[in-house]
Every structure is written in structure tokens, then in C-alpha cells.
Amino acid sequence: MESHAHHHCLDLIDRLNEYLDGELNADSCAELEAHLRACPECQELLLSLQQTVDLLHHLDDEPLPLPPALEDRLARQLQQRLATKSH
């Protein structure tokens, strides 16, 4: 990305939260969307931010299940620690 475009990215990054919250005016929204169509780095940042916001919204919901491999690893570690303490 050339330095001018990078500078433009930095200016727009500050507005991503407002964009996701639907708080940008129509002109700012159109400018940001035009930039996003042409900038893979900002698209990736927006996706990451959206995923973070989605996770935060689900914190009050039931906890997400652990991936099976992680759950198995944690269970083994817990069993090992309990076995070590009982000897």
C-alpha cells in the first residue's frame, strides 16, 4: 500500500466503530465503503472488528463450547494435577 493510501487508512480506521454502529452520516459511510472495496487490509480489519463486536454481544448468552481438542487437553491436564496432588 502506498504511503498516501496508508495515511487515508489511518484516517478511516477511527471511524470503523461508528460505521459498525450505524452512526456515520451518508457521505462518510459512502467514503468508507468505497475505501473498503479497494483496500484488503481495511477489509480484514473491519472483519476482525465485527467478529470482536459479535463476541462481545454474546458474552451474556450461554458460553460458547470449547473446541473438542482444547476441552480434551484441559481435562487431561486437570486429571494430571489432581493425580499429582493426591499422591
Identify the weakest region by mean pLDDT among 11-15, 32-36, 50-54, 69-73: 11-15
Residues 39/9, Cβ–Cβ less than 8 Å: yes
Residue span of the structural domain in which 36 resides: 3-86
**Residue 2 — pLDDT band, cuts 50, 70, 90?**
very low
Task: Report the C-alpha gap between 19 and 24 in whole angstroms.
Answer: 6
Three-state SS for 64? coil
Q: What is the model's pLDDT at position 4? A: 45
Q: pTM here?
A: 0.58
**Residue 33 — pLDDT band, cuts 50, 70, 90?**
very high
Structural domains of the chain, count: 1
Q: What is the model's pLDDT at position 61? A: 66
Report the C-alpha dihedral over residues 46, 51, 57, 63, rounded to 10 degrees. -170
Query: Among 81, 1, 3, 85, which residue's Cα sits nearest to residue 43?
Result: 1
